[in-house]
Amino acid sequence: MAIESVVALRLILLFAFIQLAAASVGRRNYPMLAGSRNIFSNPGAETDDVDLKTRYPVQKIKIPIDHFPRDPRYEPHTDEKFDVRYWFDASHYKKGGPVIVLHAGETNGGDRLPFLQKGIVKMLSEATNGLGVILEHRYYGESFPTANLSTESLRFLTTEQALADSAYFAQNVVFEGMEDVDLTAKGGNAPWIIYGGSYAGAQVAFLRVEYPDIFWGAISSSGVPKAIYDYWEYFEPVRKYGPQECISTTQKFVDMVDEIIIRLHDSEKTKRLKSFFGLGNLTYNDDFANVLAWGITYWQSINWDPEISTRKFDYYCGNITADELLYKNGDLKEEAKALLAAGGYGKEADALANRLLNFAGFVYADQIAGCEKSDRTLDECFGQHDLQWFKNDTLAQADNRCWPYQVCTEWGYLQVGSTVPKNQMPVISRLIDLEYASIMCRKAFGIYKPSDVDRVNKYGGFDIEYERLAFVDGEVDSWRPASPHAEGARPRKNTLDKPFILIEGAGHHWDENGVFPNETTPTLPPKAVADAQAQEAKFVKKWIKGKIGKTAMAGISWQATDGLA
């Protein structure tokens, strides 16, 4: 699952895999429906760096819209093709080198261009004398197979269709300026190695299993091969690994809110509580709880790379753990104490009052102020119950419809507080339940059933495994509970043939980013990340040597390259 993305759909409360750190009052905020994307990890909205766009000009390939003409799921069928965008860098390529593909996942492929220049694609291409590629996903960026995004048109947006796109690309692409070199997985002999992070990490794992004769190897970084409808575990990593004073204070404030609204069901105190936060005119209580949850979700947006990381989680925690008053709302101190007492924290009211005032100040500065500047009502900015806006199905609404559609149909990942175990204090309100989190599915797409996660989990879920399939995950990643490194998943050994790496202290696909040599410091990138990237280069080179040896035994002459030493 990007820090300042054009998708800026915040409240994720995510609705995709890429966590977006900046709220945009011009966008609707989603409830806890699967992760704003990149999640998460996005080096920026499609780069404005003219040099990158010039250096890596966009390419297009025609790919069938419908790879499964006999499956009634896709009726009415079509035999038409559509343009899928891709970019490549041949500056490191030498004869015998592999094709290194980065699957762009559920975002604009142009967002990934920096990885050709200084990220994982550049690292692996340089290490192996390979050709680096960024491949855009159908229905994202500008790779649209349909003229609009109606629910009927979105029927071709499925996991299996997207997998087939990647396979078709590998078998048919001809790289501009290299027409005399057959680098396809169909006719050529170049090893194809595919990398993906988050949702794309799941995609590449599935590709290795479903199309093993096309993709010689795959690296799933923070991949989520286990689709989970009720994904309350999204908040477990921040609960366990986040600053404990911040987590404890968050839990107390959430419990206070739930005591007043759910357990006491006191309408007068509920009105006072919402007014205290400047949200008195927000109609629905679950929308109110959703707004309060923003701060904790910034955890996913933390990255070791300062170019894409957010400080908002630090600001949030700094605010709610500060015992001195940080905002000019001291006149509400007695009200803060009264609300704390009503919510069951009367004995701690004196100690927590300033923290609660600071929490209200943070909510205003982080979210409400932008809404006020837009001249929209609170319901228009933060409400989820009247989603007519989401029914706009033009291509311009891709960011607001495509990943949500995938969530509603196949992937799930509804991030809720209601199903957190009763003996555990949640970090988001129990008002945020499956009914609330799935509002968009019903209102925008007419989908009333839970996501059909079996369509994803048939590829292996937690147990997915294959030779030359690597899993590289972050220890503190919000998406780790959906990965093979989830607590409770079976333990595995880390080998060169089946790498299984958990990066200590790392978040969401931290290995994907890179820095220029002159930017490297003793702590940038962190040693754990640098070590993981070195391991990736090592096992990919071993994989490629195995392919070359296999091809040589078949009587085909290969030229070994310096990068494979």
Q: At which residue do the structure tokens 């699957």 appear? A: 103
Among the options 89, 393, 399, 477, which is catalytic?
Answer: 477
Give the CA angle between residues 497, 500, 506 to the nearest 5°: 145
In eight-state DSSP terms, residue 77 is P
Which strand ranges, in their side-by-side order, compose the sheet holding 59-64?
A: 59-64, 81-89, 131-135, 99-103, 192-197, 217-221, 469-474, 500-503
Distance CA(407)–CA(450), nearest Å, equals 10
Where are the alpha helices (H) located in 186-308, listed in sequence order? 199-210, 236-241, 244-258, 267-276, 285-292, 294-297
Report CA-CA distances (Å) from 414 to 136, 237, 281: 25, 16, 26
Distance CA(102)–CA(86), nearest Å, equals 10
Rounded CA Rg of the chain? 24
Q: Is 361 exposed, middle or buried (0-12, 13-18, 19+ CB in 10 A)?
A: buried
Report CA-CA distances (Å) from 139 to 2, 400, 467: 18, 12, 31
543 three-class SS: helix
Q: Which residues contact 73 (CB under 8 A, 6 or more apart)?
A: 155, 158
477 is catalytic: yes
Distance CA(341)–CA(356), nearest Å, equals 12
CA dihedral 203, 4, 88, 542 (to 10 degrees): -50
Tally of residues, the chain: 565
Give the CA angle between residues 474, 480, 481 to the nearest 5°: 160
Among the options 153, 198, 438, 483, which is catalytic?
Answer: 198
Q: At which residue do the structure tokens 């590829």 appear? A: 459
How many CA atoms lie within 13 Å of 130's alpha carbon, on the beta-carbon side? 29
> Across-strand partners of 502?
473
557 is catalytic: no
End-to-end CA distance of the chain: 34
Instruction: Look at strands 81-89 and 131-135 and give their pairing.
Output: antiparallel
**Nearest partner of 19 among 4, 40, 33, judged by Cα:** 40
Q: Which residues contact 545 (CB under 8 A, 6 or more apart)?
A: 564
Which residues are catalytic, by number?
Answer: 198, 477
